[in-house]
Homo-oligomer: A and B are copies of this chain.
């Protein structure tokens, strides 16, 4: 049965259902319960934004483990435990913190299987928050998924809605490879209909949210809803957009994008991450290589500028992509001046 729940609840529910199904699934991270060793309530936090709240009460201290602020140790422990029979879900909190533990992710987890000649299985999920708009400034607002997507051996998942979050997270937990799961912090309060029962959304299958014939708009994470807004606005001007959410950047469902561009002949890629070597370039380049013949206009990338994320709300609003900027880019590839 479907009922409306928030993105936050969807993540929580996915975790709870998988932990119930499989005793090898454990959770760890800083304050994923919250209150370890303290005088008051344990399970006080559920992470800084309350996403895992209640799971400690449900599953107890052997399944939900608070950690010291030692990301290398506990992310590495999740990885090591995955090679030794558990299926840990580790929370890195903000993706911005990857810099203190990246080695365990890209040199260890990502490479075990290859380096060991196919003999390792590392079913670990690393959850983290991404994105701007929270006025959280330069070290708590980054996306950084291009850095993970770059690394062979990792899978990268960017859910764009509550429904997507639940299905993709359950898939991630059941997947036998290391998966990085990027949750946009501005999506947590978004609600939509989500089935109560467990379900999975396969990796590497893009979601075509809207079919269209004039231009293909590929967007990730929170950008998907902005792309949909833009598409609606453009429809009023008679421009028909196909909106595609790749869901996973690694593996990437290039086929769906290439096919779409094959029809529309025009591509706009929307990516909230910094503009250099990001997913916008990745997808654009792929299309320029493999669907060139179909292209009827320059590809356009809608991204923030090449700057750190500013704190001031006035500046951050300018920094982030918006539906208007997306619509303007589509008009541009359509050869129409800004409306």
A149 within 8 A of B: yes
Q: Interface code A291-319, partner B: CB below 8 Å = 1, 0 otherwise?
A: 01101011111000111101100000000
A278 within 8 A of B: yes
A22 within 8 A of B: no
A137 within 8 A of B: yes
Closest to A147 in B: B147
Write out the residue numbers on chain B whose beta carbons fall within 8 Å of the beta carbon of A150.
144, 146-147, 273-274, 276-278
Q: Is the CB of B152 within 8 A of A137?
A: no
Q: Is the CB of A308 within 8 A of B152?
A: yes
Complex-state Cα separation, A273 to B115, whole angstroms: 18
Among A105, A114, A250, A305, chain B packs the most CB atoms within 10 A around the CB of A114
A126 within 8 A of B: no
Q: Is the CB of B277 within 8 A of A114?
A: no
| Chain A residues within 8 Å of chain B by Cβ, number | 61
Q: Interface code A181-202, partner B: CB below 8 Å = 1, 0 otherwise?
A: 0000000000000000000000
Q: Is the CB of A282 within 8 A of B276?
A: yes
Q: Is the CB of A285 within 8 A of B292?
A: no
Q: Is the CB of A110 within 8 A of B308?
A: yes
A53 within 8 A of B: no
Q: Which residues of A in the span 236-251 have a Cβ within 8 Å of any Cβ on B?
A: 249-250
Write out the residue numbers on chain B whose beta carbons fall within 8 Å of the beta carbon of A281.
277, 281-282, 284-286
Write out the residue numbers on chain B whose beta carbons fall within 8 Å of the beta carbon of A249.
276
Q: Is the CB of B146 within 8 A of A114?
A: no
Closest to A104 in B: B99
Q: Is the CB of B138 within 8 A of A115?
A: yes
With contacts A111-B138, A310-B114 taken as known, whether A280 is within 8 angstroms of B276 at the C-beta atoms is: no
Contact of A299 (CB < 8 Å), options: B137, B146, B147, B285: B285
Closest to A251 in B: B306
A121 within 8 A of B: no
